[in-house]
Amino acid sequence: MDNVPRLAALGYLKNNKLILSTAESCTAGCLLALLAAAPGTGEVLESGYIVYSPSAQKRLLGVSAETIERYGLTSEAVAWEMALGSLRDSDANVVIATTGVAGPAPESGIPPGTMCFAWAFAGEPIAVFTRTQRFFGERSEVMRQGALFGLTRLSHYHQRWLRGERA
């Protein structure tokens, strides 16, 4: 059930005074919608960017054309730049970014269900953690799984950041 991880993420954000922004491509706002379905989200949610196209990623979040060309849209490098762009353009102190192939077919040789994530934390210095994960199922299920994964891993990467670890 989605309630347990959603409520755990919401509680974690509140308890740690984290204000979240999202930068979503392949999850198309699912991450934001999952979190916003819980009462009290207004205390911890700043903004959400749905940047499905490369032009939107470049225009709104400053993802470089060179990064897209070199690494492809489904890459940790693109997720990294999406997260940094969202952090720069918002009052949030944490960002979760997603990019990938929800399916049903592969894109540019990348299997369906492949998603790249970035969790960025404001501070001196800014820290960004990335990870690639693959999910299975129908397109909508893959999107939901990716959104839940992004939320459930937030505390893990925040704790690494608090310990001074850097990606």
pLDDT for the residue numbered 81: 98
Res 103 pLDDT > 80: yes
**CA neighbours closer than 13 Å in the CB half-sphere of residue 123:** 15
pTM score, whole prediction: 0.96
| Per-residue model confidence (pLDDT) at position 14 | 97
**How confident is residue 167, by pLDDT bands cut at 50, 70 and 90?**
low
Q: Could you tell me the domains of the chain? A: 3-161 (3.90.950.20)
Mean pLDDT of the chain: 95
How far is Cα 61 from Cα 66, in angstroms, rounded to an integer?
A: 14
Structure tokens at 136: 């299975």
Closest by CA to 95, choosing from 115, 121, 56, 116, is 121
